[in-house]
Structure 1
Amino acid sequence: MSKVRVGIIGCGGIANGKHMPSLAKVQDAEMVAFCDLVIERAEAAKQQYGNPDARVYSDYHELLRDGSIDVVHVCTPNDAHADISIAALEAGKHVLCEKPMAKTAEDARRMLEAARRTGKKLSIGYQNRYRADSRFLKEACRKDELGEIYFAKAHAIRRRAVPTWGVFLDEEKQGGGPLIDIGTHALDLALWMMDNYKPKAVLGRAFHKLSQNENSANAWGPWDPAKFTVEDSAFAMITMENGATIILESSWALNSLEVDEAKVTLCGTKAGADMKGGLRINGEENSRLYVKEIELSSGGVAFYEGTSEDPGELEARMWIDAVMNDKELVVKPEQALVVSEILEAVYESSRTGKAVYFD
């Protein structure tokens, strides 16, 4: 194929904030179809990002009937991820689905089965893997510079930044709040760095402590307590089959001055690392402790030749390259499924007050 022909399903916030502007910078891709339940949003997306012959739909089934479309980006609320992605895979399209993989782990498993059955590529939009600090730290882990990573923290803490638009506060549409929204990014980074996808047990708790406050200070204005049906914060301890332990923390509203989003702390037998105030490596050498701060603003080996350092753009470029040249995916659906399974276990543990054990 000379260019990968892309259809966008869901032309709301994440499509406009990441997917479409990133794809517009990829020379080997062109956006040829746009679908949204609100047809005006699809029309606006076509005007800004579409090629001259781009088509607009309000029904994604009609978009999928276009045999000339190679790739579909699924940018809808979480409850629609599975059905749309599966339909797209079965229609012969490769699929990049926005995170999380699905609202439920069972839906995520259905997506993985569809990808295997159809032989089409399926990836999930965990763009924080493409950040410069993430790439550097992953390479250090790959080279075993930290040794065995047996303890980690996955950070996704906002002090007061509750998204008040769209369906973020709707549990039925999203499946949860900050845990499934931003905690998913932090957990994905931790598992990826550790290269450990075998959970044993999860003990977690989701809280509804600040969500019912009236006229709260918030980055995007006060939320409506009557519409805040998801948790405002959630925390968990995850133990892996090999004994490694991960502490997962997430919040949209929390009385904390430690604010970190999509970051990890890693503790290994040879060294440790964290992303607080930049990327730092710590350890012991010649009977002395050291802290090494990594300069990421210049130099280094390009993750993908000729690109900027924007994670969304790198995600789009490497995804399109994987489709065009049948390359290995950066984010594999098998990995994203484990993230969804753990997130679901946290919610279940919170509901039952008991630990959830994996077979």
Structure 2
Amino acid sequence: MSKLRVGIIGCGGIANGKHLPALSQNGNVELAAFCDIVEEKARQAADQYGIEGAAVYTDYQELLKDGSLDIVHVLTPNDSHSPISVAALDAGKHVMCEKPMAKTAEEARAMLEAARRSGKKLTIGYNNRFRPDSQHLKKVCEAGELGEIYYAKAHAIRRRAVPTWGVFLDEEKQGGGPLIDIGTHALDLTLWMMDNYKPVSVTGSVFHKLGSKENAANAWGPWDPAKFTVEDSAMGFIKMENGATIVLEASWALNTLDIDEAKCSLSGTEGGADMKGGLRINGEDSSRLYVKEIDLNAGGVAFYSGTSQRDIDVECSAWIDSVLNDTEPVVRPEQALVVTEILEAIYESARTGKTVYFD
């Protein structure tokens, strides 16, 4: 069987830190084309990861003309996710787009429509679903061990870890700050565990409290207050059609010691679970309460039990296998669209001071 030919659009940090290392280890693909608006970045990626004679572009439209490409990975700033993904799908390519799905819900819906129109697969890079703790907790939820999950928290809290490179602080290109950057991971994880994608209302708060500080303590050095145009923290209160409630918390900079990122806490009628300090399941047995800590060091994850692949390698393999075997991707675009709709509603609620209701 011939290998799937992959094109990369956007050869920056997320490409080199996640996608290219994972794809280069997958024996079912070959990296055949690279595009970046900075030609040197594309050329460096091609030299390091590409097959012999890999093509280099600065215009993604030119890359999409290559009829030999089967898959395109869209690894660009949020504001270009939708137009590039739509163009790639319409050009007959399967698409892996980095999270969040898009800057706006309207743009995300255009991506979903393009996938349906083209018949090609579309997935979004929510790699935290593939962690061993996430995989185990998903099994617990699917087995009904927690019962009906009616209350949850989505955690994306950093004390002082504001990304100061690239366009992270640029609201125009990103659409927001920690809410759309890391809050999106926590919300995706929570909705997936609950298997609940029907919101009815969202109330949000967005804060610009610490971004104006000069010489602030930060994991990657002080940020430039003049360039900090996004929120430094945001919170959302989400009610679902069946009455379930989710609290979403996201920050890059917050005066708190309660730090958790890309995690969730779940409360159900039969038990609960959280990812704080490892995976813990809690419940009641014979009129006694218990807490069970899961040992995640033994065995593997659901898709590739017994292997030692990193989460991003498992994500990559699952995606490539879905194309090869013509199966549903683990992260479906319909699910990612709901995440984007909720995030947008939190921003809108904060802006207007009113609760946003879904039809």
Q: C-alpha distance in 2, partners of 1:58/1:23?
A: 21
Range moving further from structure 2, 299-308 or 339-348? 299-308
Tell me whether 1:66 sits opposite 2:62 in the alignment: no
Q: 1:195 to 1:53 in 2, by over 3 A?
A: same
Match of 2:292 in 1: 292
Q: C-alpha distance in 1, partners of 2:302/2:123?
A: 22
Give yes or no for contact 1:161–1:253 (8 Å, CA) kept in 2.
Answer: yes
Shift of 1:302: 4.7
Letter in 2 for 1:294: I
Give yes or no for contact 1:132–1:309 (8 Å, CA) kept in 2.
Answer: no
- After superposition, the C-alpha distances for 1:173-221 in whole angstroms (9 at most, x for unaligned) are 0000000000000000000000000000000011000000000000000
Give yes or no for contact 2:33–2:56 (8 Å, CA) kept in 1.
Answer: yes
Range moving further from structure 2, 310-319 or 130-139? 310-319
Q: 1:285 to 1:339 in 2, by over 3 A?
A: same
Match of 1:255 in 2: 255
- Amino-acid identity (%): 73
Shift of 1:2: 1.5
Letter in 2 for 1:6: V
- After superposition, the C-alpha distances for 1:269-323 in whole angstroms (9 at most, x for unaligned) are 0000000000000011000000000000112565225743411111111111111
Secondary structure of the 2:51 match is strand
CA-based RMSD of the aligned residues comes to 0.9
Match of 1:24 in 2: 24
- After superposition, the C-alpha distances for 1:45-93 in whole angstroms (9 at most, x for unaligned) are 0011000120100000000000000000000000000000000000000
Tell me whether 1:268 sits opposite 2:264 in the alignment: no
Q: C-alpha distance in 2, partners of 1:325/1:305?
A: 19
Give yes or no for contact 1:236–1:249 (8 Å, CA) kept in 2.
Answer: yes
Q: C-alpha distance in 2, partners of 1:100/1:275?
A: 22
Q: C-alpha distance in 2, partners of 1:302/1:153?
A: 24
Match of 1:212 in 2: 212
Letter in 1 for 2:117: R
Secondary structure of the 1:321 match is helix
Match of 1:149 in 2: 149
Tell me whether 1:4 sits opposite 2:4 in the alignment: yes
Q: C-alpha distance in 2, partners of 1:285/1:300?
A: 28
Q: C-alpha distance in 2, partners of 1:77/1:33?
A: 19
Give yes or no for contact 1:151–1:268 (8 Å, CA) kept in 2.
Answer: yes
Give yes or no for contact 2:39–2:58 (8 Å, CA) kept in 1.
Answer: yes
- After superposition, the C-alpha distances for 1:88-138 in whole angstroms (9 at most, x for unaligned) are 000000000000000000000000000000000000000000000000000
Give yes or no for contact 2:136–2:301 (8 Å, CA) kept in 1.
Answer: no
- After superposition, the C-alpha distances for 1:126-169 in whole angstroms (9 at most, x for unaligned) are 00000000000001100101000000000000000000000000
Match of 1:246 in 2: 246
> 5+ unaligned residues in a row in structure 2: which ranges?
none
Match of 1:114 in 2: 114
Match of 1:124 in 2: 124
Letter in 1 for 2:346: V
Q: C-alpha distance in 1, partners of 2:86/2:306?
A: 33
Flag as ranges the 4+ runs of structure 1 deviating above 6 A.
none
Shift of 1:327: 1.4
Secondary structure of the 2:184 match is helix
Instruction: Return the TM-score normalized by structure 1.
Output: 0.99
Match of 1:345 in 2: 345
Instruction: Return the TM-score normalized by structure 2.
Output: 0.99
Letter in 2 for 1:72: V
Shift of 1:345: 0.0
Q: C-alpha distance in 2, partners of 1:307/1:282?
A: 28
Range moving further from structure 2, 320-329 or 223-232? 320-329
Give yes or no for contact 1:307–1:314 (8 Å, CA) kept in 2.
Answer: no
Q: C-alpha distance in 2, partners of 1:309/1:20?
A: 15
Match of 1:40 in 2: 40
Tell me whether 1:280 sits opposite 2:304 in the alignment: no
Letter in 2 for 1:26: N
Match of 2:200 in 1: 200
Give yes or no for contact 1:9–1:34 (8 Å, CA) kept in 2.
Answer: yes
Match of 2:182 in 1: 182
Secondary structure of the 1:21 match is helix
Q: C-alpha distance in 2, partners of 1:306/1:42?
A: 35
- After superposition, the C-alpha distances for 1:320-355 in whole angstroms (9 at most, x for unaligned) are 111111012100000000000000000000000010
Equivalenced residue count is 359
Q: 1:347 to 1:63 in 2, by over 3 A?
A: same
Give yes or no for contact 2:34–2:55 (8 Å, CA) kept in 1.
Answer: yes
Letter in 1 for 2:177: G
- After superposition, the C-alpha distances for 1:250-269 in whole angstroms (9 at most, x for unaligned) are 00000000110000000000
Range moving further from structure 2, 338-347 or 318-327? 318-327
Q: C-alpha distance in 1, partners of 2:122/2:307?
A: 23
Match of 1:323 in 2: 323
Give yes or no for contact 1:237–1:247 (8 Å, CA) kept in 2.
Answer: yes
Q: C-alpha distance in 1, partners of 2:135/2:309?
A: 11
Secondary structure of the 2:137 match is helix
> 5+ unaligned residues in a row in structure 1: which ranges?
none
Q: C-alpha distance in 1, partners of 2:63/2:300?
A: 41
